[in-house]
Amino acid sequence: MLIIAHRGASGEAPENTLAAFDLAWRQQADGIELDVRLSRDGRVMVHHDPTTKRLTGTDLSIADSTSDALRQLDFGIWKGPEFAGQRMPVLDEVLAAAPPGKQVVIEIKCGPEIIPALSQVLNNPA
């Protein structure tokens, strides 16, 4: 049996952020589940919803925004002041921070256009 932290330790930290994933690892999760979408500039972004509105109050479409624009938003403050400044991660940085032997379950939340970029990230780890 495995314990997989859904969107990281999202009950205690802002979902799909490095803070949530780090907390999941510290809580001894066997793995994390995360969601990915493709940004306008072809980056594999870790985010569940098609827009940023629910978590930031700013309504940007992931598919229509650049990774730089998306990473300007604060994805942590809604969960508490201790999480202020959490940014939308790119998949590369989440994978680089995963401890050896741990699992990362990737749920694709967009269409097949993400496959080339996702393959690039998975086949060329940082």
Catalytic center residues: 6, 48
Q: Identify the helix (H) or strand (E) that includes residue 114.
A: none
CA–CA separation, 46 vs 33, rounded Å? 10
CA–CA separation, 109 vs 8, rounded Å? 16
Q: Identify the helix (H) or strand (E) that includes residue 117.
A: helix 115-123
Q: Identify the helix (H) or strand (E) that includes residue 115.
A: helix 115-123
CA–CA separation, 126 vs 121, rounded Å? 8
Q: Identify the helix (H) or strand (E) that includes residue 4.
A: strand 4-6
